[in-house]
Amino acid sequence: MSNTKRNIEYIVVHCTATPTNTTMESIKRYWKETLKWNNPGYHYIIHRDGRIEQLLDESQISNGVKGFNPVCVNLSYIGGVDKNNNPTDNRNRAQEDAMFNLIVHLTERYPKAKVCGHRDFPNVHKACPSFDVKQWLANYEPKLG
């Protein structure tokens, strides 16, 4: 995690909009082969076991929110849809705890950045991250000890 020179205005929470058992390899392949992206969609991804994987240095621009990427750090959890591809918050406790800790870390690094979900941006017509980020943060209770 380098000290970025970018002016970060948003810490954006995403879901991969895939089943919870989707592999990182298939997500990366989709970005490269289908979307033709050179950079990943997120800086960080949260696996089902709560492991946080950094996909891109924060000094670089990821493809999280069209039109806002230069001022965003993007993080995502694997999941966000049910077996019928309908939006659903299917994070498990390990993902929630890891997400909360990552957001705390990023807000310490970027104290002026606003934390929001992908769906909170103008002209975004998707449910991503399949939950209300502000409401979740207001009600989240970390495990102690």
User: What is each CA distance from 56 to 7, 40, 93, 100, 119, in whole angstroms?
Assistant: 16, 7, 25, 19, 22
Taking only the tens place, the pLDDT of each residue in 73-131 is: 999 999 999 999 999 999 999 999 999 999 999 999 999 999 999 999 999 999 999 99
pLDDT at 5: 79
Question: Which CATH number applies to 10-139: 3.90.950.20, 3.30.2310.20, 3.40.80.10, 3.40.50.300?
Answer: 3.40.80.10
Taking only the tens place, the pLDDT of each residue in 25-64 is: 999 999 999 989 988 999 999 999 999 999 999 999 999 9
pLDDT at 144: 66
Q: H or E segment at 53?
A: strand 52-54
For tokens 């975004």, the residue is 124
The runs of H, that is alpha helices, within 8-50 are: 24-29
pLDDT at 133: 98
What 3-state class would DSSP assign to 104? helix
pTM, 2 dp: 0.92
Does residue 145 have a pLDDT over 70? no
Does residue 3 have a pLDDT over 80? no
For tokens 């909360």, the residue is 100
Domain spans of the chain?
10-139
User: What is each CA distance from 15 to 7, 92, 111, 130, in whole angstroms?
Assistant: 24, 13, 23, 7
118: which DSSP letter? G
Asked if residue 84 lies in contact with residue 93, where contact means CB atoms within 8 angstroms, the answer is no
141 CB-side CA count, 13 A: 1
CA angle at 4 for the pair 141 and 95, rounded to the nearest 5°: 25
Q: How confident is the model at residue 1 (pLDDT cuts 50, 70, 90)?
A: very low
Mean local confidence (pLDDT), 1-8:
69
Q: How confident is the model at residue 2 (pLDDT cuts 50, 70, 90)?
A: very low
